[in-house]
Structure formats: C-alpha cells, structure tokens
C-alpha cells in the first residue's frame, strides 16, 4: 500500500516537508518519482500542468530540506543557516504564478511553471519564519511532523488528533487508565 500525503501541516511549505513521513521513526519518502511530485503539486493547489523531471525532483528535495532545516532551527531557538536562507531567498525571487483570463476562465500561468512552483513554496516558508511569521510553528512530539497550529486557542500538540499521533496518544492514555482501574479493583 502506498502512503498518501495528507496535507494537514497548515501551509504549502510544511505540506512539502511532510512528504517525508514519520521523521522520528522509519522516515518514509513519499516523493519517489517525478510523477509523485507532479501529483503533489496539483493536490497542493498549485497549477496541475507543471512539468516535472528527475532534476526537478532533486531540486524540490533540496528545497524541502532547506525548509525543514529552517523551521527546525527556529523551533529549537536558533537561526536559519546562511545556505538555507540563500536557497529560500533565491527561489522566492522567481515570478510566481499570475492570474490570467484565458478561454473564458481565470487560470494561473507562468512562463516558467516549475520555477514558479518552487518560488511559491519558498515564499511560503519565508513568510512563516520570524519575525514576520507566526509563532504557531510546532513539531509533533511523536512523529516529528512540522505543522502550523491554526487552532483557535493555539495549543495544538499533535500532527493530527483525529487519525494520527494525537489519536494514538489518546488510545494509550485510555488503555493505561483502564489497566490502572482494573489493578485497583483487584
């Protein structure tokens, strides 16, 4: 069974980072082929006609690493490294997709669609980083997923309370409580 990307990280760039699943366990690469990346780009809300090849897949993996490193550094109280900052800045400078009225509908187009996709992701990452970005960047304590806490109270801990690590933690607490109750009843 092929694991699907869930798009629950709260931002475009963090959803890209999540294409390596379970970083605290058996890290699982979800972007194995250019076709995987092409599908991810369309599912992420970017134009779905972006051409992708093996070199593009390698470029996206570099970008993903830079975003992961930058956000992890911020979460750990450090600074973004110069190489990661340079890569994000360079990619974010490329013109993003622009809306155009084409054949009776508005489409987002670019003369260089792959470079524009990378630019969108890099710009999203830069907008998350302090001081301009929100202070709601989080790391799941179980799987290591980076996410943006968009909950109203701002106290989300887990990657997913419904189906992911949060649910598993609730099940563990429930089972431990049942075991403890049964032990006291003896």
Q: What is the CATH number of the domain that holds 22?
A: 1.10.3300.10
> Model confidence over 69-101: pLDDT tens digits?
999 999 999 999 999 999 999 999 998 899 999
> Model confidence over 133-142: pLDDT tens digits?
778 899 999 8
Q: Is residue 166 part of a domain?
A: no
pLDDT at 161 over 60: no
Q: Is residue 171 part of a domain?
A: no
pTM: 0.85
Angstrom distance (rounded) from CA 44 to CA 120: 11
Q: Is residue 42 part of a domain?
A: yes
Residues of the domain holding 74: 12-154
* Mean pLDDT value across the chain: 88
pLDDT at 167 over 80: no
Q: Is residue 31 part of a domain?
A: yes
Residue 130's pLDDT is 86
Question: How crowded is the C-beta side of 152, counted as CA atoms within 13 Å?
Answer: 0
Residue 137: closest CA among 122, 154, 121: 154
Q: How confident is the model at residue 121 (pLDDT cuts 50, 70, 90)?
A: very high
User: Cβ distance 99 to 45 under 8 Å?
Assistant: no
Q: Is residue 186 part of a domain?
A: no
How far does the chain reach from its first CA to its final CA, in angstroms? 44
Residue 104's pLDDT is 94
Cα 173-25-167 angle, rounded to 5 deg: 30
- Poorest-confidence range of 44-53, 113-122, 148-157? 148-157
What domain count does the chain have? 1
Cα 59-78-44 angle, rounded to 5 deg: 35
pLDDT at 63 over 80: yes
Q: Is residue 137 part of a domain?
A: yes
């Amino acid at each position: 069974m092929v694991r699907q990307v869930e798009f629950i990280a709260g931002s475009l760039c963090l959803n890209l980072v999540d294409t390596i699943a379970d970083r605290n366990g058996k890290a699982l690469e979800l972007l194995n082929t250019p076709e995987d990346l092409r599908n991810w780009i369309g599912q992420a809300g970017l134009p779905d006609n972006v051409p992708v090849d093996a070199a593009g897949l390698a470029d996206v993996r570099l970008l993903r690493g830079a975003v992961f490193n930058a956000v992890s550094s911020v979460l750990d109280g450090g600074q973004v490294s110069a190489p990661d900052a340079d890569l994000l800045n360079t990619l974010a400078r490329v013109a993003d997709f622009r809306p155009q009225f084409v054949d009776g509908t508005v489409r987002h187009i670019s003369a260089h669609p792959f470079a524009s996709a990378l630019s969108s992701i890099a710009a999203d990452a830069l907008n998350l980083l302090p001081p301009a970005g929100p202070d709601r960047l989080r790391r799941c304590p179980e799987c290591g997923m980076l996410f943006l806490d968009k909950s109203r109270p701002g106290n989300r801990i887990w990657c997913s309370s419904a189906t992911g690590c949060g649910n598993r933690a609730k099940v563990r607490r429930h089972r431990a409580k049942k075991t403890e109750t049964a032990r006291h009843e003896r």
